[in-house]
Structure 1
Amino acid sequence: MLKRILLTPIQKFIKLESFSGILLLAATLLALIWANSGYGSAYQELWQYKIGIVTDSFEFKKPLILWINDGFMAVFFFLIGLEIKRELLIGELNSAKKMAFPLFGALGGMIVPVAFFILLNNNPETFQGWGVPMATDIAFSLAVLNALGSRIPLSLKIFLTAFAIVDDIGAVLVIAIFYSGTINTTLLLIAAVLLLLLYFLSYKDLYSNVTLVLVGAVVWFLFLKSGVHPTVAGILLAFSVPVKQRIYTNAFLKKLQQVYNKLKASAISQKPILSNDQLKQIHDLEHYSYEFQSPLQRLEHKLHGWVAYFIIPVFALANAGVMISSDVELDMALTFHIVIALVLGKALGIPLLVFIAEKTKLITIPSNINYYQIIGVAFLAGIGFTMAIFIASLAFSNSPQYIDSAKIGILLGSLIAAVVGYLILRFAPRKEDLL
């Protein structure tokens, strides 16, 4: 029973991310076909169409693609922030021992691909793309992993999810530090004060979804205008959401019993409506149920579907449409450097640091995982897609040539990584087969 309770949320998360990966693939293929069809110009015009708020004294209009990349992706990063906070406090990263295995994998998966890109790159104009091969796309990689069914132990899926989350932390820091514009410190200080206010309210158990949304919208706007990418605001806002419940299990069960007893004692109406007493008990039950849920868990649950089934596919549809036959001349060197950094950088970096950490007794690899499987997962980590395209759009925002070249490199590298990783994991012996 305890095992089922603990594993069910992880299994549900993995299943959700798996289907999201399939939807993401469909959106990517649609974007590529659309952009290279006879309606390619309509594809470009759609995402460049400006929408916003215009009054006599105020105008705030942005192209649709920037609303997606700056607005929708802030929600995506907010969800990542919730996941990071949960994992750090009560999940797979809540102790040094638990964090060690995926942490070393993530470090290898970030450092080595970046090193590959820097060593290969000899064009100063494309140097800023060094952050592109850092992150792993959880949705796509888990979709491939789940396609292998029972051959893959749950601990390997948890390892992939955990180090992908650590990768995301690294990518967020890189975006905040290296891919933000000229910083307006005044606006940033105002945003910091508002964030501290939210943290204080959370600490005093005065958290409110309404307050989070209203203050969060202002903080997002301030980050946007300050020069720091507004998706960073999403991460910081997530840390203001409390993880603790207002009513714990024993107290909730007592309240539940009281509601049950009062409902049982209430007069039963012959009409298809509730009596005032029954209505009061139902309202109390709803209130107690709401208080019983962790605000962080409740928000994470509500947002997962929106992010997995809408925001990320829309992001892919808007950003993956590279016009292969366009007049823009591609930089094939940049394309191949990204492919090599994603595929070989991840495939070598993750197992290498895990191996060194194990031999130096810094980590313990779960007993049902072997190095064949770690290498296979390392290749899957080369599926950089969502975060890689996002960083590429920031790194080469003023160069259509480089951004298209980078996107092709990301798509090609992710495809190679997915196929090779799948084949290795499909035919690799399991730990029990080696005994």
Structure 2
Amino acid sequence: MRFFISLLEQAMGALLTFAVNIWMARDGHPEAYGVYAFWLTIAWMAGTAQSTLVTSHLMSLPHVDLTQRRRPEQFFLTVQLIFIIGLTCLTEIFSQGMAFSGSIFTAEGAVLFVPGFLLFQYARALAFSRQRTVMAASITGCALLLCIVMIGFYHFSGRLPAANDGLLISGMAYGISALIFVIALMKKHCLPMGWRAMKPYLHYLHSSGWIFLGAASSELTNRLFSFATAWHYGASSLAVLSATQIALRPAWMISAAWTSIAQPRMAHMWAESRYRQFWKFLAVGTLIPVTGSLVWSALVFVNWDFLRRLLYHDNYANTAELILLWGGNVILGSILGGWNCALLATRRFRTLAYTDILGAFATCVAMVIVIRFLPYPFVITGTMMGQITQVIALGVVLYGMLRTTSRA
């Protein structure tokens, strides 16, 4: 039941992102949509950095009893607030710097969007770490409702959406819903700790360097195509890539839903030496997302002409080959999602960092070749080269772990 509730939560999250993207792509100018897609990429990268300090540790806490979790959770909330304040300041500086240089990617709405997005991801992780999937689904459902209502008001006003409009609406939907539920979950412990109270819990952050190195490398693999496209091919090309990628986004839901509920459970299994159950859980959690991604990608490819006319007012013609490329990307990502979860649950942060670095290196090399010799659709293959490298490296690591535990 938890898996299906988690899947519903992922579906609502995907629908939220889908609603904003479709609204921007259908009603807005391609460059405005490209700017929105650029800042969405920035927010996801910031979310990955956040996971190194907060959410990865929350999801791996071995404590089940709420009284044992209270103080560590309050510690991570304090770290979270410091991180959000710092990122908000950096976002403002970055946006002002781009405005000064005359870049089209400047957007004041990002100053609300980035912290709102980060707080939303923290609230979801907090609920899932307690295995309260209904609460996590409620957080996302609240954000979805707020977003649809605001988009509806704006749409019926007849104005064309600018990049700032999409960023402000998303930021408010994320931020308001997250703030309400964080207060509800933490209650009297929602206030930040003082420095002295934080000291006994600083040991949780000792592994954050390796988590950050791995997460940063993984983000480089997954997001470099956005920056390469924006820099070398332009905002309109990034809009085409984003519009086609959105159609494959539901395939990610199965993998993300499984990961959200699996990491805390796998951490408990590993800590209690229930290795056979651990490996069975991982096998099922890899097979189901891969199968779902394959089926969804095939359905979208076969029906792409109909879908693009329905979703994008007949824009983005002759882009079916991008669906094939994104399908391969999603299938590889489904494999990596489950296998990364296994290493995070067993706290093998250093090993995961090394595999992520290998993937990032392969992506960078491939992306340089693409930029020099090939048109923009092939930036997706640059990402896939990094993913393939990661799959091979993680396969070797997991095989070694399996052999070790089979002798235990």
TM-score range, shorter chain: 0.3 to 0.5
More relative contact order, 1 or 2 (CA 8 Å, 6+ apart): 1
What TM-score does the superposition give when structure 1 sets the normalisation length? 0.33
Which structure has the greater CA radius of gyration? 1
* Greater fraction helix: 2
